[in-house]
Amino acid sequence: MKSISPEIVDRVRELHKMLTYASHAYYVLDSPVLEDSIYDRLYRELVELEAEYPELIEPDSPTQRVGEKPAAKFTSVKHNVALYSLDNAFSSEDMASWQQSWQRYLGQQLEPEQAAALSESATYVCELKIDGSALALTYENGLLVRGATRGDGVSGEDITQNVKTIGAIPLRLNLENPPPIVEVRGEAFIPIATFESINQERLQKGEAAFANPRNSAAGTLRQLDSRIVRDRRLDFFAYTLHLDGYLDDAEPDPELAPNSQWESLELLETMGFKVNPNKKLCHSLAEVQEYYDNWSTARLDLPYMTDGMVVKISPFELQSQLGFTQRFPRWAIAWKYPAEEAPTVVENITVQVGRTGALTPVAELKPVLLAGTTVARATLHNSDFIAELDLHLGDTVVIHKAGEIIPEVVRVLTELRPAEAQAYKMPSHCPECSSKVVKPEGEAVTRCINPECPAIVRGAIEHWVSRDAMDINGIGEKLARQMVDQKLIKSVADLYELSQEQLLKLERMGQRSAEKITKAIATSKTQPWSRVLYGLGIRHVGAVNAQLITANFASVEQLAEADLEAIMAVHGIGEEIAQSVNAWFGAVNNQQLIDRLQKLGLQLQNPDNPADSTAATGTQKLTGKTFVITGTLPTLKRDEAKTMIQQAGGKVTSSVSKKTDYVLVGAEAGSKLKKAEDLGITCLSESAFQELLSNP
């Protein structure tokens, strides 16, 4: 091994430090300290020294931002902390309703005095909602070890090498004593000027221009070659911080223990991140309104795209009390700006049949440019929506992009209606299988209820093989259509009985592809019970809901035998989802499908919980018992106690009634305790509650 002199080591460290400082000043502070030519010369010197002495290369060296070779593929990784979506508001009335909603929820969880005090302490952090692609960054002992896409919020793709190319993302945190684990969330985006420059370069090369900055940012981050990502010159704003385990330390550094969203943003800047400078701390919704009104026009002069603003309740204590709904945090909301609109003509209306049998009418439009993309189709949702619009074929309509993503018809310009225009009526029979369609009472959706309808079978197959379900590579929309059309499969179970010989009869199917597909199908048998449940395509059951349900029902037998109340007892599962699950398992054809999947060897139970486990909700000791929690418990947080009750099969309500079985009582219990005593309801201390759970 070639010896290294102390002078060489010192020089590498000096170059490393100097280039990192210059990069931070350029990308984060927008205040360059070195001319480009000098930076390039110093960078080349570091590259040459590291090439000669590779043992001196550090993971956070400026030379490690771009990989030498393209990645073979991206791997799926589970987020340490889930990335929730945000609920949307579109008016000041929506914002007032949101505030009333979280205040009402707070009042249900706490005693009136405590709820009022917390509510009065609420402040709001307003940040511009950047139109880009969300990233989750993980730092261990200050060093960037993982960058991942948002994905479905639970899992994303590991794109660490691409993330390292973004100059505004530090490879090492600017802290002398960093917490052991830091999770940072933010938005990667392409500035408008950069986007326009990239498109000019592409057009000069004879390549197609990108549609808009948002799509090109998302597509860029999924490039396998990090050199391409570097050349697209992405930027990044950080907006969320999680210090995993650090705040539980006996004596955390008070400067690194933020108590609010506003303090988190300040700490992110200290760590070396770029935070949007247009943030504001507001003390009322009136101030939030002022912020919104100001940026509704000022945003047009920004160097990046924004489609609204994000409003977060700042104090972490209040965030913790409010928690999350099934899909959104209760303490945050996105207030969107009005979408761009454009007029066009409805040339035809076609009908699509989805995997649940829902018939969705789609307007075939005269192509029109809207929000940077050409739009030729727009959803019409259902027959009620069409009737409300009074839509006729040939009408001139106004369209916009819902959330600036999905094209939608918002109104009809009846004054431009042709004399011969005919009102549209939904078909009486399924366009796929010719079966008579139905419109269930109380629903807006028209459905085909033929379980063998090719569209329903195709949709079920496509959903089953999707990445978040069974993740069977090689079976896409076209292949699923061929399989169904040639009657090779009529259900997802048929996939597991396909032979290579049958696959080889399909169009453009070679021996190697057939082998890969049969292997992928066989491998999917190892997917966990939660993915199988999601893959079944039960209405309203998404990937996150499936994980919640299977965490509480360890096997398919337990879930199939559970009643509606037991399913609703799962934290995060509402009545609509519970009814859907209960009805699905009650159908004979679905029971037959489950029986086939079991015989085929799929995972229909959790590995740590065999089918006869007494951990099932249906056989747990608190099944059918209703609890109310009041006061401050000695060691347990209210949410922790609630989760323990629900996991044991019990239900937690906010008010005491004759139907209440137990009241869990802590310090400073109020009127709920008195009412429980008046009704003769059993009151438990925390220790008595723990004993109740531990007794066989």
Distance CA 485, CA 90 (A): 44
123 CB-near residues (< 8 Å, 6+ apart): 260, 262, 281, 282, 283, 313, 314, 315
Q: Please, what's the b/e burial string for 118-133 (b: 16 or more CB within 10 A of its CB; e: otherwise)?
A: bbeebbbbbbbbbbbb
Q: Which of 282, 253, 279 is nearest to 266 (CA)?
A: 279
In three-state secondary structure terms, 181 is: strand
Distance CA 668, CA 633 (A): 9
Q: 548 with 516: CB under 8 angstroms?
A: no
Q: 358 with 368: CB under 8 angstroms?
A: no
Has 78 been annotated as catalytic? no
429 CB-near residues (< 8 Å, 6+ apart): 435, 436, 437
Distance CA 19, CA 30 (A): 15
Q: 382 with 362: CB under 8 angstroms?
A: no
What's the angle, vertex CA 658, arms to CA 653 and CA 661, rounded to 5?
60
Q: What is the largest CA-CA distance in the chain?
A: 90
**Encoding tokens for residue 657?**
């009634």
Distance CA 121, CA 313 (A): 10
Q: Which of 352, 281, 328 is nearest to 82 (CA)?
A: 328
Distance CA 637, CA 633 (A): 7
In three-state secondary structure terms, 614 is: coil
Q: What is the CA radius of gyration of the chain?
A: 29
Q: 462 with 482: CB under 8 angstroms?
A: no
- Which of 2, 69, 129, 525 is catalytic? The answer is 129
Distance CA 558, CA 430 (A): 36
Distance CA 366, CA 343 (A): 10
Burial class (CB in 10 A: 0-12, 13-18, 19+), 149: buried
Q: Locate all alpha helices (DSSP H) within 53-159, ordered by sequence.
A: 92-109, 112-120
**Encoding tokens for residue 602?**
């799929």
| Alpha carbon separation from 135 to 66, 85, 148, 246 (Å, rounded) | 18, 13, 6, 22
| Alpha carbon separation from 630 to 247, 524, 642, 643, 667 (Å, rounded) | 26, 46, 11, 15, 8
In three-state secondary structure terms, 334 is: strand
Distance CA 568, CA 572 (A): 8
The catalytic residue positions are 129
